[in-house]
């Protein structure tokens, strides 16, 4: 019993240095920039083409490229650290990312025909709840993998489990086809996935005591604002 207790304690024991390192990494990788949008556009094209081809392997490949998981993990981290004022920037990034993926899906559907996508099947409520459970588990696993570098090799598997990009791309394709039923279905799946990821990651970051990283997050936010102000002054 004592060994089991020690193991459980060790699992939840992330030292302050590792917490700061994780917070810094998530902050940096959740910034918008050329690299982020390049990866997002590439992933959107791959996933959209995979849906139109009805090729699961292609969809999986695009999901691995997508950078959308990191901003969601950062939102959960900021909430766990008690710093909700850091969220507007990331929310704005997610809104722009959502628009990019939907537009990419719409354009692919427009140029390459309205081949029906086969992800839409069964009861919407049942599917949404199952996706929510998967997303919750994936969000928890993603937060744990970022916090514990000794299990970071599972991150590609987590990326596959998180189905954020395919439903968004399918929204764009459904919009081009004016398929209201499919559009509603994929929007619901997307929302439930986002909520599940945020909730799962928030629980893990809270259990791992990431509230201690709040000052580090604010320091990086202030530093970024100062750099942006300096760039604006140079331009003027």
Q: Residue 121 falls within a domain, yes or no?
A: yes
pTM beyond 0.85: no
> Per-residue confidence of the chain (236 residues) as pLDDT tens digits?
444 444 444 666 777 787 888 888 888 888 888 999 999 999 999 999 998 888 888 888 888 888 888 899 999 999 988 888 888 889 999 999 999 999 999 999 888 866 565 544 556 777 778 888 988 988 888 888 888 766 655 555 566 556 788 889 989 988 888 888 888 888 888 999 999 999 999 999 999 888 878 777 777 677 766 555 555 555 55
Q: Residue 234 falls within a domain, yes or no?
A: no
Tokens of 154: 């599972």
Quickly count: other Cβ atoms within 10 Å of residue 75's Cβ.
Answer: 24
* Strand, helix or coil for residue 208: coil
**Cα–Cα distance for residue pair 53/46, rounded to 1 Å:** 10
Q: Residue 73 falls within a domain, yes or no?
A: yes
Kindly tell me the burial class for residue 2, based on how many C-beta atoms sit within 10 Å of its own C-beta (0-12, 13-18, 19 or more): exposed
Closest CA to 169 of 48, 14, 7: 48
Q: Residue 227 falls within a domain, yes or no?
A: no
For residue 188, the domain's CATH number is: 1.20.1080
Tokens of 169: 């791309």
Domain extent, residue 80, equals 2-221
Task: Mention every residue, 6+ apart, whose C-beta is less than 8 A from residue 173.
Answer: 48, 51, 52, 105, 106, 108, 109, 114, 117
Q: Residue 193 falls within a domain, yes or no?
A: yes
Q: Residue 205 falls within a domain, yes or no?
A: yes
Quote the number of domains for the chain. 1
Q: Residue 177 falls within a domain, yes or no?
A: yes
Residue indicated by tokens 């919009």: 175
């Amino acid at each position: 019993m004592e060994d089991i207790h020690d193991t459980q304690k060790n699992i939840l024991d992330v030292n302050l240095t590792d917490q700061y390192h994780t917070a810094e990494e998530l902050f940096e990788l959740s910034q918008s920039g050329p690299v982020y949008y390049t990866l997002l556009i590439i992933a959107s094209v791959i996933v959209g083409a995979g849906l139109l081809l009805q090729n699961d392997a292609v969809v999986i490949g695009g999901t691995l490229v997508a950078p959308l998981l990191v901003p969601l993990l950062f939102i959960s981290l900021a909430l766990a650290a008690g710093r909700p004022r850091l969220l507007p920037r990331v929310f704005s990034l997610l809104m722009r990312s959502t628009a990019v993926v939907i537009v990419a899906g719409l354009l692919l559907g427009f140029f390459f025909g309205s081949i029906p996508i086969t992800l839409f099947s069964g009861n919407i409520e049942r599917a949404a709840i199952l996706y929510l459970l998967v997303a919750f588990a994936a969000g928890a696993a993603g937060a744990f993998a970022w916090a514990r570098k000794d299990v970071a090799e599972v991150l590609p598997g987590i990326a596959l489990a998180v189905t954020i990009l395919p439903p968004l791309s399918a929204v764009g394709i459904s919009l081009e086809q004016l398929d209201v039923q499919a559009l509603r279905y994929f929007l619901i799946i997307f929302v439930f996935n986002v909520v599940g990821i945020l909730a799962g990651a928030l629980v893990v970051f809270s259990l791992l005591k990431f509230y201690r990283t709040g000052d580090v997050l604010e320091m990086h936010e202030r530093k970024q604002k100062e750099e942006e102000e300096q760039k604006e002054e140079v331009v003027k």
